[in-house]
Chains A and B, each alone.
Chain A
Amino acid sequence: MIDQGVERVGEPLLAVQGLVTRFGKFRALDGVSLTIGEGESVGLVGPNGSGKTTLVNTVCGLYPASEGSISFAGVEITGKRPDRVAAAGINRTFQIPKPFFSLSVRENVEVAAHHARQPHRVEEVLERTALLAVANHTVDTLTAAQQKRLDLARALAMSPRLLFIDELAAGLSPNELQEVAVMLRSLVDEGMALVVVEHLMGFLEQVVHEVFVLTAGRIVFQGELRDALADDTVQEVFLGRTDSAHS
């Protein structure tokens, strides 16, 4: 079978080298290295507490990196402020959506568009995330699924080149899941690079074909999703004693 992995021409879009993020003495990320090419979509999987969200937060500049380096489109962004990272073209959704509750749905997206270097059209983003019908509503009237899509809409308004999706699928109905998968797929088709943090393999395989498996702050596997599922180490991580993942 032909490898569908996106070819990497020239330098990668994101290059993470030996990244360590510490909380006190605890190394939530313990030397993570990975690269993601332009327009490539990958999954980031691993047990709870393995450091997936921490990796997203650190790349985005919300957590300081203790060691290592992060570069984006050839530019070193380690230690850059999160708004600079966002302006450079990295964005993300939050595992627990973090909308602006005192703004309307439309304003939530507008505020991001105002601060974007290349703002995406607000109406288009709302349409795409199926929020146009509730655009004038306050956020507290939204369902959980809508709030997650609003998080995504806010990120899309910044026209990111690399988008981290942190457990968007959790708690969605099968229908909603399907819609989200189609939407993410279309982003990839348009050339956006995606890193999808997810537990649901069925969802993941619709959006990505390559995965990184993270355990206790280290990447223990990188490759095709189907190979990951067959891999011994990965099997142990997911099926074995996951508590051994914590040191």
Chain B
Amino acid sequence: MLLKFRDQRQNPSEDLKGQSRWRRAASPWVAAAIPVLIFLVAVHVYSNELLLVDMAIYIALAQGINIIYGFTGYLPFGYFGFFGVGAYVAGYGIIHWGLSGPVAVLVGGVGGALAGAILLPLFRLRGAYFALTTLAAGEAFYAIVSNPSLTSITNGPYGLNLATAYSSGWSFGMAVGLAGVAILVAALIKRSRYGMTLKAIKDDPYSAAMAGINVARDRFYAWLIAAAIAGVGGAIYGWAISVFYPQDVFDVTVSVFAIVFALFGGIGSIWGPTIGAALLYAIYNVVGVSNPQYFQLIYGLIIVLLVLFAPRGLAGLMASIRERRLFGGGAR
């Protein structure tokens, strides 16, 4: 009897009407389509197309972090390494193989995924060790690419010039497409059996293994997807700015931004990283670029507030406000 009673009180969300509206909004296709449409409109209203390209790429990267960190618990500080590898592989394809930009971008994604595969052994490490070792790996990629003795292949420290393949319309379109695809993939994973599997692995890899899950393989797929997203993102970025140096694409700021954007919006949620990236990147461009000192202040403040009041990010904040409104303050 007691159990029955608790049953009704503790899980009231099942039959609440308000819930279905949210569920629809979280539909993978809707979550991907709305940002894409906004970008397609925004580009006609707002003249700084490159900023929109960057924002779209950051949305994709934040979703990449969402996939690897949100769903598996592994935080890769060295995420920028895949971004840089993608930019370089695509650039190499354009320069040496004469690939068109869009094809090169996809090849860049393959490059990012391969770089991810190379780092597979790092999954033996846990927590901060994993995070820091990926950082070292990202730096290692940078050191290799920028090494003067490899100038004949990578052009060493002198960077790449992709001006011949430049196409503002295409690179914008692919950046927005990448954002849409990354959101869609993250949302579909979250809804799927695979998403449930990843949650199980994150919660307890031993139990997951006894539940018949191939822990290493299923975790690896998420890692590859996240790495491929970063690879494509880097490729589009390099193509869109058309001239870059190694330090422009192997830049730890890319990791930091993607991680903070994702955390700010709410890891594990679908709208969170999208909104987090759009909002914070917009703020960064209003305040940060001209007044970096204010930006750091605001940024620092946001992170402190986040840790104190919204550890699950914006999405978590919204969820708890919603719950409180529906069930009164006491429900938990």
Contacts and interface: CB of A to CB of B under 8 A. Distances in A.
Given A111-B197, A134-B7, A137-B10, A94 B211 contact: no
Chain B interface extent, by class: 20 to 34
B3 A134 contact: yes
Interface of A: 60-62, 81-83, 86-87, 91-92, 94, 98-103, 107-108, 110-112, 114-117, 133-134, 136-137, 141, 151, 154-155, 157-158
A101 B204 CA distance: 9
Contact of A111 (B11, B206, B211): B211
A154 B206 CA distance: 12
A102 B199 contact: yes
Contacts of A62: 206, 209-210
A158 B211 CA distance: 7
A87 B212 CA distance: 6
Contacts of B291: none
Secondary structure of the B contact surface, majority rule? helix
Contacts of A98: 204, 206-207
Contacts of B208: 100, 111
Interface string B169-213: 000000000000000000000000100110110111011111111
B214 interface: yes
Contacts of B203: 99-103
Contacts of B196: 103, 107, 110-111, 114
Contact of B207 (A81, A94, A133): A94
Given A62-B209, A154-B207, A83 B197 contact: no
A132 to B, nearest CB: 10
A149 to B, nearest CB: 13
Scoring B3, B197, B199, B210 by chain A CB atoms within 10 A of each residue's CB, the highest score goes to: B210
B44 interface: no
A62 to B, nearest CB: 6
Nearest to B216: A81
A141 B215 contact: no
Nearest to B332: A141
Given A86-B210, A98-B207, A112-B212, 7 more contacts: A81-B214, A94-B207, A98-B206, A110-B196, A154-B207, A155-B210, A158-B212
Contacts of B204: 98-100
Interface in B1-32: 3-4, 6-7, 10-11, 14
B214 A83 contact: yes
